[in-house]
Amino acid sequence: MSTFTILLGGDLIRTPRLDRQVEGSRVIAADAGIGHARLLGLVPELWVGDFDSVPADLPADLASVPRQTFPAEKDKTDGELAIAAALERGATRLVLAGAFGGKRADHAFLHLALALRLAEAGTEVLLTSGAQEGVPLLLGKAGFDYADGTLFSILGFSELAGLTVTGAKWPLNQVEVAFGSSLTISNEVKFDKTGRRLEIALGHGRALLLAHPHPLPES
């Protein structure tokens, strides 16, 4: 498996979990995402974008990262271009660091939708801010390693059917969820007596798991 970390411009905090997720990966920065390289102690192999939001006072090792420059007026975001560059280099797994928050809500939404499309095409994708993680849910069953008590939601991008959730405070069994329903918002991981962890099965539809493995103090 070839893992690439894509440094995006949204909010990011460094955690031990995030360090493990990016360890040993190749790194590409998207425009302002280069600022996260200092936070994580990484040096990207490529810096992609129109460079309209370059952080000030970059250290020499980051300022000299090879650049792939695009015009400001283009039909793809810097983040999508960075992801395309990773796929061209053989990426089979992507960690989208800084995928949430920031100044542009439209970019955050794009990252969620793009992650779903990439996952359906066979690329494993993790979206993260360090505090929050997003994982596309494909049809079938998946297990997750979140600690007991971790807050999570399932975001539906369509009507859902055959949704089963076990290892949760509010389990579900083969339910249908209307598009736009809040039924699957704010659940909580709850281990059963055997210690079985969170498992989610989906029969039909498009959805994404949003979990909070490292909640911020104010949350």
Please provide the average confidence, as pLDDT, over all residues in the chain.
92
Tens-digit pLDDT profile for residues 140-153: 999 999 999 999 99
Q: What global pTM score does this model have?
A: 0.93
Cβ neighbours of residue 115 closer than 8 Å, sequence gap 6 or more: 96, 99, 125, 127, 134, 136, 208
Q: How confident is the model at residue 76 (pLDDT cuts 50, 70, 90)?
A: confident
What are the tens digits of pLDDT across the range 118-166?
999 999 999 999 999 999 999 999 999 999 999 999 999 999 999 999 9
Say if strands 124-128 and 133-137 run parallel, antiparallel, or are unpaired.
antiparallel
Residue 219 banded pLDDT, cuts 50, 70, 90 = very low
Residue-wise pLDDT for 5-36, tens only, equals: 999 999 999 999 999 999 999 999 999 899 99
3-class state of residue 84 by DSSP: helix
Superfamily of domain 3-131: Thiamin pyrophosphokinase, catalytic domain (3.40.50.10240)
Confidence of residue 218 (pLDDT cuts 50, 70, 90): low
CATH number of 136-211: 2.60.120.320
Q: Shortest CA distance to 28 belongs to which of 50, 9, 4?
A: 4
Taking only the tens place, the pLDDT of each residue in 45-64 is 999 988 877 777 888 899 89
Query: What are the boundaries of each domain within the chain?
Result: 3-131, 136-211
For residues 152-163, b (16+ Cβ closer than 10 Å) or e, as one string?
Answer: bbbebeeebeeb
Over residues 30-48, the pLDDT tens digits come to 998 999 999 999 999 999 9
